[in-house]
Amino acid sequence: MKAIRIISTILLCLALLITVVNVIPQKKNIESNPFIVENGALPMIAAHRGGGDNNPENTMLAFREAVNTYRVDIIESDLYLTKDGYLVYNHDGYIDRTSNVNGDISYEEMKELIKDKEKRHYIEDMTLDELRRYNFGYYFENEDGERIYKDESDIKSRGLQIATVEMLFEEFYESNPDLLFIVEIKNGGERGYEAARKLASVLEEYPEYKDNIVIGTFHPEIEEHLESEYPNLMRGASTSGAAGFILTQFAGLNIFDNSSFACLQIPLSYDLGIEINLEQKTIINRAHRRNIAVQYWTINDEDEMHRLIKLGCDCIMTDNPALMREVLSEYSAEK
């Protein structure tokens, strides 16, 4: 009986501790967060890689269509530093998968070729002028499986060259001052530091976008560098930061999370030996208590879109902004 009383007392104390912790007002990670939607509002659309299902990914053609045709709220992409110090948008560190850098070969031949990493054409080894020679819509297929840009001769005017940060900002700065950006610095180490410096420098030329961009990275040293050197720029949660936040929320120990990121970018689930479902209203509610936006990636299924809309998340990242716009129009029509 004595042991039972001791265990009961310990459990009661733990319950009281968790209750107290959860009623203590949470310190906001950020005072003003443009990535959070109003309570009850529909989520924002983030065009992942500019919307790679609808147009050639990470090209100005894709970015223009995403903003002007599908009316997305956010452009999402990855950044790499070129050999001569320009920041360009691309998902991979090399350009073989989307461009004609290997000449007139099939997609299957290209995939076989780049299995050898030494045969890939890496962005860090090429200047911007060299990169601009290639057609980044070369392998794109439309809904009928046609490579409609394969033989495009005027890649510059069609927006099929590699895009720089400056090009994207300049394109929309006057016409879409409220456009938001999610970027990930893919370089690590010294090149990552230089990429951060370059991005901050470009933002000085487009000051209205300073408060419209959130920056992420998988490299811990770059995350620390961003936090210490550019504290006024918003950061996305790193993989470890997102996991730490979610685990403390599940445990009810919110107060012990000391993160400072502005956006929690998460998939539908984590696989940690067992699958952890992240489609939970409690995650969103607790993030909002800290003024953190919750953004789910990468959602290309209509049913998943509907579930997340009803959940009340802030943003859905998708390769198919055309579909996401159609789904949202159903809810707009109901009002």
What is the predicted pLDDT for the residue at 13? 38
Question: Are 110 and 97 within 8 A, CB to CB?
Answer: yes
Q: Are residues 45 and 76 in contact, defined by beta-carbon separation less than 8 angstroms? A: no
CA pair distance 291, 177, nearest whole angstrom: 22
Q: What is the pairing mode between strands 87-89 and 180-185?
A: unpaired
Two tokens, residue 223: 């995350």
Tell me how far CA of residue 155 lies from CA of 12, 135, 161, 167, 181, in angstroms. 68, 6, 6, 15, 25
d(CA 168, CA 176): 11
Q: Which amino acid is at 315?
A: C
Q: How many CB atoms lie within 10 A of CB 4?
A: 8
The residue to which tokens 């452009």 are assigned: 75
**pLDDT given at position 213:** 98
pLDDT along the chain (335 residues), means of 10: 49 41 60 94 98 98 98 98 98 98 97 97 98 98 96 96 98 98 98 98 98 96 96 93 82 71 95 86 94 98 98 98 97 67
Residue type, 237: A
The token pair that represents 233 in the structure block: 């720029």
Residue 244 is predicted with a pLDDT of 84
Distance of alpha carbon 315 from its chain centroid, rounded? 10
Residues 265/295, Cβ–Cβ less than 8 Å: yes
What dotted CATH number matches 34-95+162-334?
A: 3.20.20.190
As a whole number of Å, the end-to-end CA separation of the chain is 60
Max Cα-Cα span within the chain: 85
